[in-house]
Structure 1
């Protein structure tokens, strides 16, 4: 075999055997990440199938009721593909209320594996019917995620965030309600059957900042219009003083007969 082909073939073999970048395989999420402490205590007893709390540092905590033995966690990209989401602080609560960590879940026969396109969580045998919780990253002022389970949902916004004023706030799908809990808003759906949910929100002060900026722009625009109007009037007055605005059109096209012919 020609030696110039040996290096590319060696690289391909290395990728195939190691699962480089997750394209051809998956690897277990580290125990340190699985057993991290969540930023806030998980909300286990919410009464909904999916409870999501968005925190101020562009992260979220999710608790899902699972009626199956596994779930795949991912985000969709702009081309119809899937990308895995980073997960940490993994917990599972059995139907009897017992809560185990991610490493305990693995020790009991479950798995938390990550590839390029998804994070796959497999429950221990016979553990269906409980709730899976994890922490992951979001984006500032916007949360979007596929609906990994159907049914009732609740999304808790960070403190002092709102969604009521369009276009700064947008919620999909429709059919939701918004309720207050102290300085937080909770968006609720009785049933979500769509492929994803998204919430765009804003700080209350954003409206004041935008309103102030709009007022300044309006004042500048009004001042500019007034300035140019004054300039036009001054130029008209100057032309009149120089006799450049003598209107002869009426005399040239008048219907009256010439002088002496009337």
Structure 2
């Protein structure tokens, strides 16, 4: 039985290793034209003032536009929970020329642009025919948390889903510092004039989370106070019982250091 179990484990390990090797051999899997040409769930903000504009949705996805002026190659990757780099799973790729013309992912490729996925990243390469402009992508995130490498230098703006905030320190967190926040149309905007770090992190919460937290803290405080009162009453009652039984005689015992006859 133990041999069969060991053999089964070895087969599973071999299968996983083989799949990993296949990924490297095949370049990590091609991104299909169908994936690249999907319609984004929300319209890309091509006219955003920030070099990087990220619109976070309540379904743990985001759409983003990046100013790629002067950029020859863009490397899109994420860091997994194991600390390993992996490709950002992008879809709905768009490229906008400076004159406003927008290409789909397959059109971008047809005109000489490259979108290549490896086991560690997605490379977007711009030829001489793509001078300036912006790209738009759609990708997955994590509920109530956005953590992304800084793909493009410059100003950044992140828009949270409706009724989400970062202001309460216990639930919210933003890095790097030096940001500003404002509310527009019921959504919190977080912006940096320039980002010097390698990663941006935004951890946010629902406004109703604060109400739930307040209720929990109120109940916990009431339980704590009630427990303390109950414990004190129990001690007082035990003390009275000991006195009634004559067990508390410390006050009647003579002091060993007192002089004889005192």
Q: Is the 1:83–1:116 Cα contact (8 Å) retained in structure 2?
A: yes
| TM norm structure 1 | 0.87
Matched-pair contact (CA < 8 Å) for 1:152–1:192: yes
8 Å contact kept, 2:171–2:204:
yes
RMSD, matched Cα: 2.3
Query: What runs of 5+ residues in structure 2 fail to find an aligned partner?
Result: 1-13
CA distance in 2, matches of 1:149, 1:89: 19
Q: Is the 8 A contact 1:109 1:125 kept in 2?
A: no
For the structure 1 residues 27 and 234, does the alpha-carbon distance in structure 2 shift closer, same or farther, using more than 3 Å as the test? closer
**Paired residue for 1:38, among 37, 40, 44?**
40
By how many angstroms is 1:77 displaced? 3.7
Compared CA separation, residues 248 and 134, structure 1 to 2 (3 A): closer
Change (3 A) 1:252 1:110: closer
Contact 1:160–1:183 (8 Å) recurs in 2: yes
CA apart distance, 1:249: 5.5
Structure 1 101/74 Cα, relative in aligned 2: closer, same or farther at 3 Å? same
- TM-score under structure 2 normalisation? 0.87
Alignment of 1:164-243 (within 5 A): 164-243=167-246
Q: Which entry has the higher C-alpha Rg, 1 or 2?
A: 1
User: Which residue is 1:7 aligned to?
Assistant: none
Please tell me whether the aligned partners of residues 92 and 131 of structure 1 are also in contact (alpha carbons under 8 angstroms): yes
1:69 deviates by 2.6
Count the aligned residue pairs: 246
State the Cα distance separating 1:111 from its structure 2 match: 2.0
The structural deviation recorded for 1:252 is 4.7
Over 3 Å counting, the alpha-carbon distance change for 1:219 and 1:36 in structure 2 is: same
Q: Compared with structure 1, are the counterparts of its residues 215 and 248 closer, same or farther at alpha carbon in structure 2 (3 Å cutoff)?
A: closer
Map Cα deviations across residues 41-94 of structure 1 (whole Å, 9 max, x no partner): 000001111000000000011100102232110012466642101000000000
Structure 1, gaps ≥5 residues long: 1-10
| Residue 95, structure 1, aligned to residue 84, structure 2 | no
2: CA distance, partners of 1:147 / 1:61: 15
Give the distance between the partners of 2:175 and 2:255, measured in 1 at CA: 69
Q: Which residues of 2 match residues 1-262 of structure 1 at below 5 A?
A: 20-22=22-24, 25-66=27-68, 67-77=70-80, 81-247=84-250, 250-253=253-256, 255=258, 257-258=260-261
Cα distance in 2 for residues equivalent to 1:156 and 1:82? 25
Q: Say whether the 8 Å CA contact 2:23–2:29 is kept in structure 1.
A: no
